Structure 1
């Protein structure tokens, strides 16, 4: 897709991250996966598919109605919290689980929280205030 920004991110079950910090599980037991996402500034948050939800062992907390880019209204599930990691940055959010989705979308809220923006010339993510090391926890 011309003009589309793809990035690789790591998603971690945030409950597992918390349990590892408390010493309840080993860090190697944190359920995580690295996926390619489409950076979508028109999407509100992180949108994952059911396969990623199952890989991370995320419970569904609730459902919400949402409008897709094509104008169609759908019900999507909202899962428990994940930690989104990109290079030296991370944030947590409740991902929307869209049944049958092929693509994982990284939306505006995670981008803003990690202080990231799209470099339209080079079609990549960059730090809004540079790419200095910010130090990421777990």
Structure 2
């Protein structure tokens, strides 16, 4: 099984600055993660934002900048959220995946809208 990437449009909702990114889809991650370069392209000053404590894959905890509000857009879906500034490539975690009702198709190594709800996202509320 290989890695899955998706083309996303990220928008800073304060300034309407947009950036297109090719993000790694990671169902083991929680948040949307962006690089420092992407945060700056979106117009955020990462020295003036809140911090989020995250646990890295190796078990270490670290405080990282958290930018908000951003909109994530993919296909006919969008989600307003926050993102942590971390790593060397954008990463799409499980919170935005669930909120936008997206699924990973492992055969095609592709991110797709949920085929059970092709026209709009449906969230599980139970």
TM-score normalised by the chain length of structure 2: 0.85
- 2:11 is paired with a residue whose SS is strand
Q: What are the equivalent positions in structure 2 for 1:4-83 lying under 5 Å apart?
A: 4-16=3-15, 30-59=16-45, 60-83=48-71
Instruction: Give the drift of 1:73.
Output: 1.8
Q: Using the alignment, how far apart are the partners of 1:109 and 1:57 within structure 2? A: 23
Q: Is the contact between residue 8 and residue 36 of structure 1 (CA under 8 Å) also seen in structure 2?
A: yes
Q: Using the alignment, how far apart are the partners of 1:85 and 1:96 within structure 2? A: 17
Residue 84 of structure 2: aligned partner: 96
Aligned residues: 119
Deviation per CA, 1:17-62, whole angstroms, max 9, x where unpaired? xxxxxxxxxxxxx310101000001110100111111111125431
Say if 2:104 is the partner of 1:105: no
| Bigger Rg, structure 1 or 2 | 1
Q: Is the contact between residue 75 and residue 113 of structure 2 (CA under 8 Å) also seen in structure 1?
A: no
Q: Using the alignment, how far apart are the partners of 1:45 and 1:8 within structure 2? A: 16
TM-score normalised by the chain length of structure 1: 0.78
Q: Is the contact between residue 115 and residue 129 of structure 1 (CA under 8 Å) also seen in structure 2?
A: no
Structure in which a larger fraction of residues adopt helix: 1
Q: Using the alignment, how far apart are the partners of 1:15 and 1:129 within structure 2? A: 33
Deviation per CA, 1:51-103, whole angstroms, max 9, x where unpaired? 111111125431122111122222111112100000111001110012xx211
Structure in which a larger fraction of residues adopt strand: 2
Instruction: Give the drift of 1:109.
Output: 0.4
